[in-house]
């Protein structure tokens, strides 16, 4: 007989709701897309250094967006700049 989280039929608690996951996931995915687009625009403007920085940042934001979509993010970080 097992007890605790291994018990048959026991549900594991999710760290945040589905709505929050969708909102934050979409926010970070849009940041990733914007940074990739900005990087290629900078490459076309002969701004190679800034384009590389934007690509590195897009990798970081894409990684975080992936962790949100796959329920691996422990905390949700809200980041919007107007």
Enumerate long-range contacts of 24-30, CB under 8 Å, 24 or more apart: 24/68, 24/76, 24/77, 24/78, 25/65, 25/68, 25/69, 27/78, 27/79, 27/80, 28/61, 28/64, 28/65, 28/68, 28/79, 29/62, 29/65
Q: Within a domain: residue 7?
A: no
The answer to whether residue 58 sits within a structural domain is yes
Whether 8 maps to a domain, the answer reads no
Quote the pLDDT of residue 63. Answer: 95
Number of domains in the chain: 1
Q: Which domain holds residue 42?
A: 21-82
pTM (two decimals)? 0.75
Question: Is 16 inside a domain boundary?
Answer: no
- pLDDT tens digits, one per residue of 9-62: 556 777 788 898 999 999 999 999 999 999 999 999 999 999 999 999 999 999
pLDDT at 2 over 60: no
């Amino acid at each position: 007989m097992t007890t605790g989280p291994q018990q048959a039929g026991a549900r594991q608690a999710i760290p945040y709701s589905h709505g929050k996951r969708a909102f934050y996931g979409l926010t970070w995915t849009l940041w990733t897309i914007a940074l990739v687009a900005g990087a290629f625009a900078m490459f076309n403007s002969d701004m190679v250094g800034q384009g590389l920085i934007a690509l590195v940042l897009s990798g970081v934001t894409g990684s975080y967006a992936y962790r949100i979509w796959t329920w691996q993010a422990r905390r949700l970080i809200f980041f919007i700049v107007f």
